[in-house]
Amino acid sequence: MPISENRLSEIKSLAAAAKDKKALLGPDVDLERFKELAQRDRVENLSSLKAQTMEAAIMSGMDIKEDVRSGSFVQLNHSVIYESLNEKYKDQLQIMSTDDAVEKFDFIEDYFWRIVKPDQDKYTAAVALNPSHGYFMRVFPNQHVEYPLQACLLVDENNISQNVHNIIIVEEGASLNVITGCSLSKNDAEGIHLGISEFYVKKGGSLTFTMIHNWADNFDVRPRTSIHLEEDAKFVNNYILMKPVKSIQSAPNVYLTGKNAAAQFNNVIYGLKDSYIDLGSKMYLEAPNTRAESIARTIAADQSVIYSRGDMIAKTKEACMAHLDCRGIVFSKEATMYAIPALVSEGSVRAHLSHEASIGPISQEQVEYLMSRGINKDDAVSLITTGFLNLNIPYIPKFIDNKIKDIINATAKDAL
């Protein structure tokens, strides 16, 4: 095995010591009640997925025909059921199960549990002690892949803990676009998704990562993500949550360690039913001329509770720049929203840190303007809401855009 026994023993020891360690944020979840599941067989192609599973995959951004994708990865519960690499890109990138990568590559030890710690909390510990695949993606140096890689992590059983570990490596001078989604094909499933993700973007590299979450009322979600950016590296993170979830708590860490590194987070969050949503990001500007931006568009409907966080931490003594733009709309008298921006300068005398946070209703003036143009009130509110949430994310299937509009149309009419 490429990872040394000493390193594996260290990881397991750290995790074992933290298996009961509660997270600082989010409701605590009892992990002892979740069961092991039987392995699933692989499928020959995405079009052979069961109808309900296929619909869940499509709603997570998957292109079933793979016409505009460079490769695909699908995991169902604890089993990898499909992985493929377009023959055109075999000399440019790799995609496979993280478990397979751990067995295959000598270099993997340098990226395995390095920027996410196994003893961070009980959720990281659970993945370190009982992992079940996840995806590994790597683009070779100076390669620019035309179409995105796609991955989907699905659950179709009840009472499951899906413990995945994802690793993405963008080598020097390369670029990659990834579209990935997590979803249930059993809408009433109860369980938890634990996703460890470690992304490394090397000198001059670029990674655009789009995540679409489609969960349900009884499902808890605890992603733990860290991103490491070297000199001149760029990272863009797009996140979409448009369906109810029992609870989700995540705040990815971005370490801008190389000069001129840049990171941007775009969050589109629609809180429905009694969802408990606690999302944000922490960006550490550790090198000269680093830049970070976080944009959040958040709507709280029904009885949802939403925390929208953003931390910008300047650590370099040279110039750096960061900005938070957090805007929210509360649709329901029973919903609650918190906007929590944080700017921190640790002796960074040349840092420029700023934030713009607001929670407010849809503008009556905008509605009246559209109505004066012949648009009825409900359609005007829906149109404004759609524009508010639109961040122009590329390669998102039209099917998802239509579903988003359906959700908005069903809830936005009560916003005024």
Write the single-letter amino acid at 380: A
The CA distances from residue 358 to 261, 267, 371, in Å, are: 28, 15, 25
Q: Is 257 helix (H, G, I), strand (E, B) or coil?
A: coil
Cα–Cα dist 391/371, whole Å: 24
Confidence of residue 388 (pLDDT cuts 50, 70, 90): low
Cα–Cα dist 345/352, whole Å: 9
Q: Is 100 helix (H, G, I), strand (E, B) or coil?
A: helix
pLDDT at residue 406 in the model: 65
Question: What is the percentage of the chain residues whose pLDDT exceeds 70?
Answer: 91
Q: Are 203 and 236 in contact (CB under 8 A)?
A: no
158 vs 259, more confident: 259
Question: What is the percentage of the chain residues whose pLDDT exceeds 90?
Answer: 67
Q: What is the mean pLDDT of residues 222-246?
A: 95
pLDDT at residue 405 in the model: 65
Cα–Cα dist 216/239, whole Å: 17
pLDDT at residue 126 in the model: 96
pTM: predicted TM-score of the whole model, two decimal places = 0.92
Confidence of residue 383 (pLDDT cuts 50, 70, 90): confident
pLDDT at residue 376 in the model: 78
pLDDT at 411 over 70: no
Q: Are 292 and 262 in contact (CB under 8 A)?
A: yes
Q: Is 209 helix (H, G, I), strand (E, B) or coil?
A: strand
With tokens 């993945």, the residue in question is: 127
282 vs 357, more confident: 282
pLDDT at 416 over 60: no
pLDDT at residue 149 in the model: 96
Cα–Cα dist 118/316, whole Å: 27
pLDDT at 230 over 80: yes
Q: Are 237 and 264 in contact (CB under 8 A)?
A: yes
> pLDDT digit string (tens) for 5-29?
999 999 999 999 999 999 999 999 9
Q: What is the mean pLDDT of residues 218-227?
A: 96
pLDDT at 86 over 60: yes
Confidence of residue 189 (pLDDT cuts 50, 70, 90): confident
pLDDT at 135 over 90: yes
Q: What is the mean pLDDT of residues 246-275?
A: 95
pLDDT at residue 413 in the model: 56
Cβ neighbours around 9 below 10 Å, total: 10
Q: Is 406 helix (H, G, I), strand (E, B) or coil?
A: helix
**Which residues, 6 or more positions from 78, have their beta carbon under 8 angstroms from its beta carbon?**
36, 37, 39, 40, 132, 133, 160, 162
Confidence of residue 176 (pLDDT cuts 50, 70, 90): very high
Sequence spans of domains, the chain: 5-360, 361-416
Confidence of residue 314 (pLDDT cuts 50, 70, 90): very high
Q: Is 408 helix (H, G, I), strand (E, B) or coil?
A: helix
Cα–Cα dist 191/317, whole Å: 45
pLDDT at residue 385 in the model: 72
Biggest alpha carbon–alpha carbon distance for the chain: 71
Q: What share of the chain is helix, strand, coil (3-state, %, to 5)?
A: 20, 40, 40
Opening angle at CA 297, ends 294 and 298, nearest 5: 125
pLDDT at residue 221 in the model: 97
- pLDDT, mean over the chain: 90
Q: What is the mean pLDDT of residues 159-163?
A: 92
Q: Are 10 and 128 in contact (CB under 8 A)?
A: no
What is the distance between the terminal CA atoms of the chain, rounded to a whole angstrom? 61
The CA distances from residue 186 to 24, 118, 308, in Å, are: 30, 30, 28
> pLDDT digit string (tens) for 33-85?
887 665 777 887 888 788 888 888 887 888 899 989 999 999 999 999 999 99
Q: What is the mean pLDDT of residues 318-339?
A: 93
pLDDT at residue 414 in the model: 55
pLDDT at residue 362 in the model: 74
